[in-house]
Amino acid sequence: MKTYTSRLAALAGAVAGLWAGVALAQSFPSKPLKMIVPIAAGSVTDVAARFLAQELTTSLGQPVVVVNRPGANMVIGAQECARSDPDGHTICVTSADAMSYNPFTLDQMSYDPDKDFRPVTNMYFVIEGLIASRNNPARTVAEMHDLAVKSKGALNFGTLGPGSTTDTFRKWLSETWGAEFAAVPYKGGSEIINATIGNQIDVSRIGLGNVAGYLNDPQVKILAVRSTKRLPEIPNVPTMDEAGIGAYPGRPWWGVVVPAKTSDEVVTRLNKEINAVLDSGKAREFMAKNFLELAFGTPAEFQEFLKQDRASAGQLIKKFGVK
């Protein structure tokens, strides 16, 4: 009898929990949402986040406010996300730097990529370009290679900080070419572009969405693009494979996570709403215009992707001893 009673109690508890979850899903969101973006305002990622926030404001029926938290290799934004209330009203834009690279490049971590977050969905991959300033005499990748070898470390390379994906690419390119570039860290793509226009840096690898307004502007030279084929907007610019750079083993991406204890019901709702936005014609037009390749899916698919991406990043970082 005691066992039977305990089973009834357990069943009642499960039913109550189920109804509580349904009630939560129906009442969510109950107030404005905060979207943490761990990169400087004005970058292509910031612009994409604001596009998503605007669309979610309509579909969720509550304002979604973008809050930029740049710096420290995405640590500042990731840390704030991890410490936020897991009620679903804080959603966090994240990247390979925060989730895949930092665990290997930072001696001390103020957050745990596995324990502090729940994956919601990936959003997109970034189509990149190798860019140079107008005062840089190189007009092609081959000329850039020769100049880098001859300069013996005199050229500088804009990055998103030590150990970031851009900095790891700098190290990879240095080894591949037998050259050396001095790293100059910035908090976002918009800062790198401004520094390039101001001739403060010589070369960088950056998402083309950051230079969308300078595709045919002599202030910025686009030497090559990382794409399977040439882009119709700049047909005279070769792909990195055509230019002989080779296949760098890493591709920048951006996705969405929430604090770890966010409920299943809220994660499912956010995944549904975000994917609906990204799957719209409006989003596809926006992403194409900003040189972003859509890549959304289920929370489980994103979780598996994160696992594989971190393993790949670990191998790359171990090879170069990045810290």
Chunk the chain into consecutive blocks of 10 residues (it has 323) and report each block's average pLDDT, rounded to whole numbers: 54 47 69 96 93 98 97 92 97 96 89 97 94 95 96 91 86 90 90 93 92 88 91 93 82 95 98 98 95 96 97 84 60
Confidence (pLDDT) at 6? 56
Domain closes at, from 243, 277, 293? 243
In a domain, 11, yes or no: no
Same domain, 230 and 261: no
Domain range for 160: 128-243
Distance linking the first and last C-alpha atoms of the chain: 62
Same domain, 98 and 205: no
In a domain, 22, yes or no: no
Measuring CA to CA, how many Å separate 82 from each of 116, 138, 156, 242, 311? 5, 44, 34, 42, 22
Confidence (pLDDT) at 255? 98
Domain closes at, from 218, 243, 268? 243
Instruction: For residue 266, report the phi and psi dihedrals to the nearest 5 degrees.
Output: -70, -40
In a domain, 205, yes or no: yes
Confidence (pLDDT) at 319? 78
Number of folded domains in the chain?
Answer: 2
- The gap from C-alpha 110 to its chain's centroid, in whole angstroms, comes to 19
In a domain, 161, yes or no: yes
Same domain, 149 and 227: yes
In a domain, 6, yes or no: no
Confidence (pLDDT) at 315? 86
Confidence (pLDDT) at 14? 46
Same domain, 122 and 256: yes
In a domain, 16, yes or no: no
Same domain, 173 and 220: yes
Find, among 266, 251, 258, the residue nearest to 28 by Cα: 266
Same domain, 120 and 151: no
Measuring CA to CA, how many Å separate 106 from each of 100, 142, 148, 203, 322? 11, 34, 29, 25, 9
Confidence (pLDDT) at 18? 44
Domain closes at, from 197, 215, 243? 243
Same domain, 102 and 133: no
Confidence (pLDDT) at 10? 53
Same domain, 44 and 113: yes
In a domain, 23, yes or no: no
In a domain, 119, yes or no: yes
Same domain, 155 and 208: yes
Confidence (pLDDT) at 11? 53
